[in-house]
């Protein structure tokens, strides 16, 4: 009976997919939703592809999954990935529908899945991944994810024992997962920019998990990312099997050492969190047996997905559009660190992050902005900060608390009007948006291009 129900679910799922595509609707979630409605153990019953590779963690899942999927499909493998879809059980069920034919037989070489860390208990025990990358574990939306130890306990309980783990040696939290599983670690050697005392507002792993003493850091990169030891017992960070030994920003290359062999890879993106994502993908590809030369070749061609990062020109101004996830103080802090500390030159920061979509069931929670390091924008190079959208006043208060001078701040609820009245004589403009404001950010970016180009050519005309 169960098997009949499974086939009925599979066919219904495929039919719903075809129907939605005919209607030109997004078909990444609903086919899986239908499958699970008809057959609640759909994930368990679906015959698995020969290789199942998953990526989970708080930050960097999408970028890392996309890199892995791109490399494998370019290497000639037939893959299915949930890259444009949902990373919860319904999205994974949709991907499984695509991975088998109408008789339920696998028709691909590898399944590459991004898995939401909180939903992993509904997914990982049933699809039993061969490999699982855990990018990191941080504080995320308190409303959804509570605290990092809670997410840790989910993964520690529900990741199957036979799954080989690719873990971040520099993340004190996630590196402690499932000590009985086969594993390799990746990590980045000490950098010139590292410190020994945390400069972020949030460090969720400062106490030794064995004896409760305060940890000491050989080096600390951001939040709890770094290399630590306990002064009172033998707890310490794990050694990395894949060590990033050099970052060459001028030539856009990274050097990765594994088993005494050094390989130089093209740097996909210069933000440190994306270098971690690339290193995670490189480590998995090596474990999976993909030739390093092939990986290098593909890394030179691919870029971080445009929905996450994009560079363009508006007149003479360089416009960098980048994701800064709302509700996620660490992810947002990484972007603020990149824009405030990593980048150079005179720049404007245009912030349009709001989470009004969260209001459907209850009020959204803005407390996270007091966990995020807006202090990083309080630097000389940042000449103007434009706060746009319905939450602009919350951000203004946050920036004033961070010590930003009020005359640097432009606060305007209408995003398009903000473009009209902002300063246009600037070298670089960073447009920070959330997943929910991505489409709007693209429209604002178009307006910036038009308005800035016009302003710059008019100014050039006056001078001539
Ligand atoms: Zn200790």
CB atoms within 10 A of CB 66: 23
pLDDT tier, 408 (very low <50, low <70, confident <90, very high otherwise): very high
Is the dihedral angle over the CA atoms 426, 432, 436, 442 positive or is it negative? Answer: positive
Q: What is the mean pLDDT of residues 64-93?
A: 92
Query: 236 CA distance to ligand 1 centroid (A)?
Result: 8
Q: What is the mean pLDDT of the chain?
A: 93
Domain ranges of the chain: 2-180+253-301, 309-463
- Can you tell me whether residue 85 is helix, strand or coil? coil
Query: 210 CA distance to ligand 1 centroid (A)?
Result: 5
Q: Which residues contact 199 (CB under 8 A, 6 or more apart)?
A: 222
pTM of structure:
0.90
Q: What is the mean pLDDT of residues 130-139?
A: 97
- pLDDT digit string, tens, across residues 416-445: 999 999 999 999 999 999 988 899 999 999
- Can you tell me whether residue 32 is helix, strand or coil? helix
Q: Please say whether the beta carbons of 305 and 62 come within 8 A.
A: yes
With 90 as the cut, is the pLDDT of residue 162 above it?
A: yes
Query: 192 CA distance to ligand 1 centroid (A)?
Result: 27
Q: What is the mean pLDDT of residues 389-418?
A: 96
Query: 179 CA distance to ligand 1 centroid (A)?
Result: 18
Query: 118 CA distance to ligand 1 centroid (A)?
Result: 28
Q: What is the mean pLDDT of residues 155-167?
A: 98
With 60 as the cut, is the pLDDT of residue 169 above it?
A: yes
Query: 9 CA distance to ligand 1 centroid (A)?
Result: 51
With 60 as the cut, is the pLDDT of residue 216 above it?
A: yes
Query: 205 CA distance to ligand 1 centroid (A)?
Result: 12
Q: In a 10 Å sphere around its CB, with 0-12 CB exposed, 13-18 middle and 19+ buried, how is residue 360 labelled?
A: exposed
pLDDT tier, 360 (very low <50, low <70, confident <90, very high otherwise): low
What does CATH list as the number for 309-463? 3.90.190.20
pLDDT tier, 135 (very low <50, low <70, confident <90, very high otherwise): very high
Is the dihedral angle over the CA atoms 65, 66, 69, 70 positive or is it negative? Answer: negative
Architecture of the domain defined by 2-180+253-301 = 3-Layer(aba) Sandwich (3.40)
Provide the token pair at 68: 């892995």
- pLDDT digit string, tens, across residues 365-394: 788 999 999 999 999 999 999 999 988 999
With 80 as the cut, is the pLDDT of residue 69 above it?
A: yes
Query: 149 CA distance to ligand 1 centroid (A)?
Result: 18
Q: What is the pLDDT of residue 464?
A: 72
With 60 as the cut, is the pLDDT of residue 277 above it?
A: yes
User: Given this chain, do its domains 2-180+253-301 and 309-463 carry the same CATH topology?
Assistant: no
Query: 176 CA distance to ligand 1 centroid (A)?
Result: 14
Query: 237 CA distance to ligand 1 centroid (A)?
Result: 12
């Amino acid at each position: 009976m169960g098997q009949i129900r499974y086939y009925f679910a599979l066919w219904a799922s495929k039919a719903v997919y075809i129907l939605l595509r005919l209607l030109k609707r997004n078909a990444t979630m609903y086919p899986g939703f239908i499958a699970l409605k008809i057959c609640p153990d759909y994930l368990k019953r679906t015959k698995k592809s020969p290789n199942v590779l998953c990526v989970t963690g708080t930050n960097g899942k999408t970028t890392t999954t996309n890199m892995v999927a791109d490399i494998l499909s370019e290497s000639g493998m037939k893959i299915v990935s949930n890259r444009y879809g949902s990373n919860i059980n319904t999205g994974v069920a949709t991907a499984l529908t695509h991975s088998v034919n109408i008789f339920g037989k696998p028709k691909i070489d590898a399944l590459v899945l991004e898995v939401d860390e909180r939903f992993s208990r509904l997914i990982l025990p049933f699809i039993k991944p061969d490999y699982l990358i855990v990018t990191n574990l941080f504080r995320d939306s308190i409303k959804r994810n509570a605290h990092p130890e809670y997410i840790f306990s989910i993964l520690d309980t529900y990741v199957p024992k036979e799954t080989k783990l690719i873990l971040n040696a520099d993340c004190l939290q996630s590196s402690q997962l499932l000590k009985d599983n086969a594993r390799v670690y990746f990590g980045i050697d000490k950098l010139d920019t590292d410190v020994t005392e945390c400069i972020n507002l949030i460090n969720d792993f400062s106490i030794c998990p064995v004896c409760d003493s305060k940890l000491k850091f050989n080096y600390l990169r951001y939040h709890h990312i770094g290399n630590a030891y306990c002064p009172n017992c033998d707890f310490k960070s794990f050694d990395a099997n894949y060590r990033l030994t050099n970052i060459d920003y001028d030539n856009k290359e990274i050097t990765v050492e594994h088993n005494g062999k050094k390989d130089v890879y093209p740097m996909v993106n210069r933000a440190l969190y994306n270098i971690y994502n690339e290193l995670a993908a490189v480590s998995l590809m090596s474990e999976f047996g993909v030739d390093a030369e092939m990986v290098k070749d593909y890394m030179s061609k691919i870029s971080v997905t445009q929905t996450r990062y994009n560079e363009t020109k508006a007149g003479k101004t360089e416009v960098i559009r980048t994701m800064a996830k709302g509700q996620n103080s660490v992810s947002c802090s990484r972007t603020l660190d990149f824009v405030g500390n990593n980048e150079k030159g005179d720049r404007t920061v245009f912030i349009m992050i709001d989470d009004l979509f969260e209001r459907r069931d209850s009020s959204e929670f803005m407390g996270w902005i007091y966990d995020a390091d807006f202090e990083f924008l309080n630097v000389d190079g940042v000449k103007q900060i434009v706060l746009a959208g319905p939450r602009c006043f919350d951000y203004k208060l946050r920036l004033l608390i961070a010590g930003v001078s009020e005359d640097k701040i432009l606060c305007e609820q209408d995003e398009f009007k903000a473009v009209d009245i902002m300063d246009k004589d600037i070298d670089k403009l960073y447009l920070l948006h959330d997943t929910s404001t991505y489409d709007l950010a693209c429209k604002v970016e178009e307006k910036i291009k038009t308005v800035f180009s016009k302003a710059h050519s008019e100014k050039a005309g006056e001078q001539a």
